[in-house]
Amino acid sequence: MSFRFLELPAEIRDHIYHEILSCDNARRLPADDDSPASYHFDLAILRTNRQIYHESKKAFQDNIFIKITTPWSESIEHISSEGRVPMIAVGPAAEAYQSFHLWIWIDAPGVPSRDAAYSMLICLDDLLAFTRMWRFSNLTHGGLNPHLRLKLILQDPHVPDRKIPKALQMRLLQPFGLVKNLHSFSLHGERVLPSVEEALKKEQATPDPSPEECLETATALKDAGNKSLQAKDYPAALQHYTDAFAAIHITVSGRKRYVYADGYYGSELTSGTYAGERSDYVRLVLRVKLVANFIQTYLKMQEWEEARFWGRRSIVLFRASLTGREGDDLEGEFDTDWVWAKNSAGMGFPARNEMGKILYRTALASRELGYEKEELNLIQAAAIYLPNDEVVQAEKRKRLDDYDWFG
């Protein structure tokens, strides 16, 4: 028995078209945390018949697409891989596409021109990820933006000269408030609202927070998280710690942390709580403290897997930075695989106490999950970093007594 799709009410057909063809429903999560999402539009419905083509085309056109064009092919790859901005189309398909609401043109007037142009197409929901990536790149490479020219062209792709509603204009243009100190910037298009353009240029003229301000904000958020932790408001504590990471240009997404703007933190701080210290040193200490606090919060929530994951991740990365050793085995013999802990403890490592807390708290999570040998190794390493912590030292003695093969 055949199904007569066109006999459905128009409202239901329209709902089905939007379910199939909207950016939200076409978005696919990546196979791994290091890759961007992707889009897969099922356009076969457009080829069904003339009536369905015209009806479904309208649903597809309700998406808000943005076209990005530069003279550098490597920029397109950077936007996708480093910024994790998902692309709908790239190359000739993107270059030929004209039904966009915003065209972003980026070049460098002081650089010899190239004949080629490279384009990519993105959805509106991914625009902020693009401008954030651009901001991080400029903070890392402080001389980047003064060499770049940005031109934005706003249009209604379906009805020429029709004014785009103010709310949509703001969504399309306000993310560029993060892009500052450009060689030049221009905004083009029919009936751009003066209030929207003024708000954008005001935000562009507002300087980025200084390293001093970023570190002070992160410290305040960490302290707020500690208060929430003491009050047993664990979700609030995790949110404060996440926001503290963001204040120093580190984003937390699920089980991944992405560290940006390293080049922004390399000078001596001249004011505030940390005056006289190096900004990269203070940032490193804050990072270690925040990880220790994340683990403590997950322990309080009895989320042992999360506590162990975050602890092991930091321990493995720290070990690799000192020894060059890859791999995540933490159950090897202590005297061979953990000698780095003994050596590094006397090196004046920043946040030594906090690193000891990470080791100890990860050991507690390992214990709950039954990783006995890993637990003992971690406790022994924690005892090296926390020689005056009576609880840790007592745990070490007790665990060594429990496992007689360690002598």
Per-residue pLDDT of the chain (407 residues), as tens digits, is 566 777 778 888 888 888 888 888 888 877 666 677 788 888 788 788 888 888 888 888 888 999 999 998 888 888 877 778 888 888 898 999 899 999 999 999 877 666 678 999 999 999 999 999 999 999 988 779 999 999 999 999 888 888 899 999 999 999 999 999 999 999 998 789 999 999 999 999 999 999 999 999 999 999 999 999 999 999 999 999 999 999 999 998 888 888 999 989 989 999 999 999 999 999 999 999 999 999 999 999 999 999 999 999 998 888 777 776 666 666 655 444 566 677 666 666 778 889 999 999 999 999 999 998 888 889 988 998 898 989 888 888 887 766 654 44
Q: Are 264 and 139 in contact (CB under 8 A)?
A: yes
Give the pLDDT score at 53.
Answer: 83
Question: What DSSP string describes 177-193?
Answer: GG--S-SEEEEEETT--
Question: Taking the C-alpha atoms of 212, 200, 139 and 283 in order, what is their torsion angle to the nearest 10 degrees?
Answer: 30
Q: Whole-prediction pTM value?
A: 0.84
Distance of CA 353 to the CA centre of its chain: 28
Sign, CA dihedral 125-131-134-135, equals negative
Give the pLDDT score at 328.
Answer: 63
Burial status of residue 95 (CB atoms within 10 A of its CB: 0-12, 13-18, 19 or more): middle
Give the pLDDT score at 83.
Answer: 74
- 143: which strand partners? none
| Residue 105 to residue 118: CA distance in whole angstroms | 10
Give the pLDDT score at 19.
Answer: 84
Question: What DSSP string describes 204-227?
Answer: HHSPPPPHHHHHHHHHHHHHHHHH
- 65: which strand partners? 123
Exposure b/e, 291-328, CB count within 10 A at least 16 = b: bbbbbbbbbeeeebebbbbbbbbbbbebbeeeeeeeee
| Residue 168 to residue 366: CA distance in whole angstroms | 50
- 69: which strand partners? 105, 119
Give the pLDDT score at 79.
Answer: 85
